[in-house]
């Protein structure tokens, strides 16, 4: 039976003669990893590429020049308050374009799942949840989550305060909540200092974490789910054109 590693610290581990065929790596930090005497056949890698050399060839510029999500991909783990503010401005801009694009779909389509993934509305609901989990409650001091937030499947049974498990909001309701959340994040970032970044806070389900990592998680959620939304919107638009 396949073994699963979640939340484990495997830094500095050595893998020798290990069969990793069909393995899946998600949300992992592979900084400084060295792979040798390996077979990379039919391998898919999706992530930030920086100083990557394959068989003696530096492929960094080649990949990044052809990555439609670069340089935004490189902005979402900033180390300074100015970088945090720049990251949110960039993410907010790409989401504004995505939301405008979704506005051309029918009401049924924005609630439609594509390939078993979340609908557009559900995606935005999850981002409300993510912002509450990593910002509103631990950093801003809120007592409860927005009731229309949507947790990920692995966390659905956690007793999140304030969530309405039966909520079925409209797109307009979700967008209004998103606007409010975004304004609060922007206001917080406007006053963010270097000292704030290392302040530890309590994150429900995850435990203690520095503000820096909390904000990185918000940005990563926004980045990845925008990519998923753009992918699925294209499929919905294609289906509409074909029909």
pLDDT of residue 148: 98
CATH number at residue 103: 1.20.120.450
Tally of structural domains, the chain: 2
Same-domain status, 103 and 203 = yes
Same-domain status, 45 and 94 = no
In angstroms, rounded to a whole number, what is the distance separating the alpha carbons of residues 49 and 30?
11
pTM: 0.90
Q: Domain end: 17, 48, 74, which one?
A: 74
Same-domain status, 70 and 88 = no
In angstroms, rounded to a whole number, what is the distance separating the alpha carbons of residues 160 and 174?
19
Residue 148 in contact with residue 133, Cβ under 8 Å?
A: no
pLDDT of residue 1: 67
Same-domain status, 104 and 155 = yes
Residue 177 in contact with residue 148, Cβ under 8 Å?
A: yes
Same-domain status, 144 and 80 = yes
- Report CA-CA distances (Å) from 115 to 112, 119, 228, 229: 10, 10, 11, 12
- Helix%, strand%, coil% for the chain, nearest 5: 45, 5, 50
Same-domain status, 65 and 178 = no
Same-domain status, 49 and 116 = no
Residue 214 in contact with residue 139, Cβ under 8 Å?
A: yes
Q: Domain end: 57, 74, 91, which one?
A: 74
pLDDT of residue 176: 98
Give, in degrees to the nearest 5, the angle at Cα 149 between 145 and 154.
100
Same-domain status, 101 and 219 = yes
pLDDT of residue 58: 97
CA 202 to chain centre: 20
Same-domain status, 206 and 227 = yes
Same-domain status, 122 and 219 = yes
**Per-block average pLDDT, block size 10, for the chain (243 residues)?**
82 89 88 90 93 95 96 97 98 98 96 96 98 98 98 94 97 98 98 98 97 98 98 93 73
Q: Domain end: 39, 74, 109, which one?
A: 74
Token couple for 76: 């979402």
Give, in degrees to the nearest 5, the angle at Cα 81 between 77 and 84.
40
Same-domain status, 68 and 186 = no
Same-domain status, 61 and 84 = no
β partners of residue 202? 208
**173: domain range?**
76-242
3 state SS of 122: helix
């Amino acid at each position: 039976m396949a073994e699963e590693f979640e939340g484990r610290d495997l830094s500095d581990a050595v893998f020798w003669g290990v069969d990793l065929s069909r393995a899946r790596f998600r949300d992992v930090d592979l900084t400084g990893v060295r792979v040798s005497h390996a077979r990379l056949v039919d391998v898919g890698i999706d992530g930030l590429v920086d100083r990557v050399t394959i068989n003696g060839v530096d492929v960094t510029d080649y990949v990044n020049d052809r990555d439609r999500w670069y340089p935004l991909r490189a902005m979402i783990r900033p180390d300074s308050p100015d970088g945090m503010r720049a990251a949110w401005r960039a993410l907010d801009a790409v989401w504004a374009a995505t939301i405008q694009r979704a506005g051309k779909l029918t009401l049924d389509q924005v609630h439609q799942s594509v390939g078993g993934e979340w609908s557009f509305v559900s995606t935005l609901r999850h981002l409300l949840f993510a912002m509450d989990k990593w910002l509103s409650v631990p950093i801003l001091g809120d007592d409860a989550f927005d009731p229309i937030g949507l947790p990920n499947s692995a966390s659905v049974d956690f007793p999140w305060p304030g969530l309405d498990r039966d909520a079925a909001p409209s797109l307009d309701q979700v967008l209004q909540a998103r606007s409010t959340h975004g304004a609060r994040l922007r206001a917080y970032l406007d006053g963010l200092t270097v000292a704030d970044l290392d302040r530890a806070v309590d994150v429900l389900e995850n435990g203690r974490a520095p503000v820096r990592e909390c904000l990185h998680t918000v940005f990563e959620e926004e980045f990845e789910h925008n990519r998923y939304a753009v992918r699925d919107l294209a499929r919905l638009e294609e289906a509409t054109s074909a029909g």
